[in-house]
Amino acid sequence: MCGIVGYIGGQQVNDILLTGLQRLEYRGYDSAGIAIVAEGQLKVHKQKGKVSDLVATLESNGQLQGTLGIGHTRWATHGFPNDENAHPHTNVTGSFALVHNGIIENYGALRQKLKQKGYTFKSETDTEALVHLIDDVQKATSLPLEEAVRQALTQVVGTYGIAVVSVEDPDLLIAARMGSPLILGVGEGEYFIASDAAPLVEHTRQVVYLNDGELVVLRRSGFEVRTIDNVKLEKQITELEWDLEEIEKSGYEHFMLKEIMEQPESLENCMRGRLRLEENCINLGGLIEVMDDLRAAERVIICACGTSWHAALVGEYLIEKFARIPVEVEYASEFRYRNPILREGDVVLVISQSGETADTLAAVREAKQQGILTLGVVNTVGSTIARETDAGVYLHAGPEIGVASTKAFTAQVLVLTMIALKLAENRTLTDAEMAEALRAVSQIPDKVRKLLELDKELCNIAHSYRFANNFLYLGRGFNFPVALEGALKLKEISYIHAEGYPAAEMKHGPIALIDRFMPVVFIAMKDRTYDKVVSNIEEVAARQGSVIAITDEGNGELDKLCEYVIRIPHTEEFLSPLLTVVPLQLLSYHVAVMRGCNVDQPRNLAKSVTVE
């Protein structure tokens, strides 16, 4: 949610900022801007639209020269996406510029107070209140800018990742965070700051993760971190694991397609070293210290948002099946605000691709405050949720850039599968059953590889349905969450209204919608519920609904009832979400492309939702 980037060093900053913003664009893309300090001037350029529009304007106007600067790509919270509301924002005299990710919650009160003091506001943003507040503090105290920023931040309620540069000090970049992620990249005589690692990878692998309530002052000669309360801190430099190749499209037209196609490898990476076929066990290093507590848990509460919430639902089925521990799945945003009843013996497990989702992070903090063990299933190494949970398991799926989550979902389900099987060790599964389960898990990447060959077929199906206005997705058991995920994928990238439902629930409402204009996607794998699902397919076919079914290889029984039948490799029932979701990802992708939608940057969405 909004991406910010900053640089101080010896290189020309224009390209560093613009490339950085392009890498951060999945966080927000309604407007963008940069501010550069050079030759006694602060030059700001910002405008509505994508980063590419900003790049085009700057190319035709001539690049901004300078070796110190900040940039921003916006996901609007307060105020329309227009030129005025775009960041950076400057103070009245234009001496300093600021970019901000987050929400200044008390901006109304600050704005009123500052207006009374004579400040005029050019934008409708909450951010501008912070800019004028810093200015006001500086005027009143004559303190150096970094100190004025720190003191102003003590008056702010809300969330922020900010970066500030000033014409008065061309050797100064200030950054601070509270609730919005910020990483510092350390180079030779140069420093970078960014909302996440994507803009840093091509410049440095040495990073410092800033924590909430920390402010960093960067000069070409070094950096110093303090708390907002002014306590000096020593920070550890860590090594970044990302590769540049991982954050580029590598010949694919879209990140989403690349990430769908990468799933055999991301799943292999996720299970590497963890799935021990010879020893007939699962090894999850990140959970070793808490395993006894987890095994003894009375209840597991899984909190997440979006696609991660769908993975959580699969996790509920998995953990209850294998560990026989009751599981509750909560939207993180609901959990945090209803004073949840947590008891001794509860474990809160959160799932997040980014590790930065504000509501999911708040769920972690709520649980910790009540003394509950918190576990994280997170993709982004070093992210806030990864650092704040007591223990956890990384996905190792590699960076996911497409806003619609794909490879993170399958890796999340795989990690939850491994956690469930770990909990079943010497408990609910015999050695032979465990061996059978592990063998089936190990075959999943190859089966995904095989089913990706259906891409062409799915493209043809997409062609038939590209003008649909509605879609219904139905599944049962382990595949009910997949129905939800299939519907979410379609609606978020193609803007077709789609709903996911448990297949049997169809009779309690959605059946009223069925007519020949309603495509219905059934997940009808040959498992315990197959016959029931076939009855549901009959019911839809009888009402002229147009059925697309996903079923097992070799199953010809559905052909007479369905418009299209997608046959995928067979696996154990508990592993089927790892396969059944893939054709749904591809179907959504192709429909969206055919409708001319921007697949990687769907309207109004952002990949990392760091505001409530």
User: What is the C-alpha to C-alpha distance for residues 24 and 19, in angstroms, rounded to an integer?
Assistant: 9
Smallest distance from ligand G6P to CB 267, Å: 17
Exposed / middle / buried, residue 508 (Cβ in 10 Å: 0-12, 13-18, 19+): exposed
Shorter beta-carbon distance to ligand G6P: residue 306 or 486? 306
Q: Does residue 476 touch ligand G6P according to CB under 6 A?
A: no
Q: b/e map of 176-188 (b: 16 or more CB within 10 Å)?
A: bbbbbbbbbbbbe
Smallest distance from ligand G6P to CB 23, Å: 17
Q: Does residue 354 touch ligand G6P according to CB under 6 A?
A: yes
Smallest distance from ligand G6P to CB 133, Å: 30
Q: Does residue 360 touch ligand G6P according to CB under 6 A?
A: yes
User: What is the C-alpha to C-alpha distance for residues 452 and 567, in angstroms, rounded to an integer?
Assistant: 11
Shorter beta-carbon distance to ligand G6P: residue 123 or 357? 357
H-type alpha helices, 344-405: 358-369, 384-388
Smallest distance from ligand G6P to CB 97, Å: 29
Shorter beta-carbon distance to ligand G6P: residue 128 or 499? 499
Q: Does residue 490 touch ligand G6P according to CB under 6 A?
A: no
Q: Does residue 22 touch ligand G6P according to CB under 6 A?
A: no
Shorter beta-carbon distance to ligand G6P: residue 9 or 399? 399
* Residue 235 known to be catalytic: no
Smallest distance from ligand G6P to CB 75, Å: 11
Sign of the CA dihedral running 157, 158, 163, 166:
negative
- Coil, helix or strand for 214? strand
**44 bridge partner residues:** 35
Q: Which of 180, 352, 546, 576 binds ligand G6P (CB under 6 A)?
A: 352
Q: Tokens for 480, please give them.
A: 């009910």
Candidates 148-156, 263-271, 350-358, 572-580 — which segment interacts with ligand G6P by CB under 6 A?
A: 350-358
Smallest distance from ligand G6P to CB 295, Å: 26
Site string (297-336) toward ligand G6P, x via CB under 6 A: --------xxxx----------------------------
* Residue 43 known to be catalytic: no
Q: How many CA atoms lie within 13 A of 332 on its CB side?
A: 33
Other beta carbons within 10 angstroms of residue 402's beta carbon come to 25
Residue type, 448: V
Other beta carbons within 10 angstroms of residue 140's beta carbon come to 11
Residue type, 532: K
Nearest residue by C-beta to ligand G6P? 306
- Coil, helix or strand for 207? strand
Smallest distance from ligand G6P to CB 486, Å: 14
Please give the size of the binding site for ligand G6P, defined by CB under 6 A: 16
H or E element: which one contains 90?
strand 89-90
**Interactions with ligand G6P, residue window 398-427 (CB under 6 A):** 403-405
Smallest distance from ligand G6P to CB 194, Å: 17
Shorter beta-carbon distance to ligand G6P: residue 294 or 305? 305
Active-site residue among 46, 422, 491, 607?
A: 607
Active-site residue among 2, 303, 305, 562?
A: 2
Q: Which of 151, 269, 333, 353 binds ligand G6P (CB under 6 A)?
A: 353
469 φ/ψ angles, rounded to the nearest 5 degrees: -100, -20
User: What is the C-alpha to C-alpha distance for residues 17 and 405, in angstroms, rounded to an integer?
Assistant: 26
Q: Does residue 357 touch ligand G6P according to CB under 6 A?
A: yes
Exposed / middle / buried, residue 427 (Cβ in 10 Å: 0-12, 13-18, 19+): exposed
**Interactions with ligand G6P, residue window 529-568 (CB under 6 A):** none
Beta-carbon contacts of 534 under 8 Å, excluding residues fewer than 6 positions away, are: 524, 557, 558, 561
Shorter beta-carbon distance to ligand G6P: residue 77 or 138? 77
Q: Does residue 67 touch ligand G6P according to CB under 6 A?
A: no
Candidates 104-112, 139-147, 213-221, 397-405 — which segment interacts with ligand G6P by CB under 6 A?
A: 397-405
- Reference 596, options 517, 519, 496; nearest CA is 496
- Look at the block and give the residue holding tokens 């970044």: 240
Provide the phi-psi class of 62: left if phi over 0, else alpha when psi is between -120 and 50, else beta: left
Which residues are catalytically annotated?
Answer: 2, 607
The contact set with ligand G6P (CB under 6 A) reads 305-308, 352-354, 357, 360, 403-405, 605, 607-609
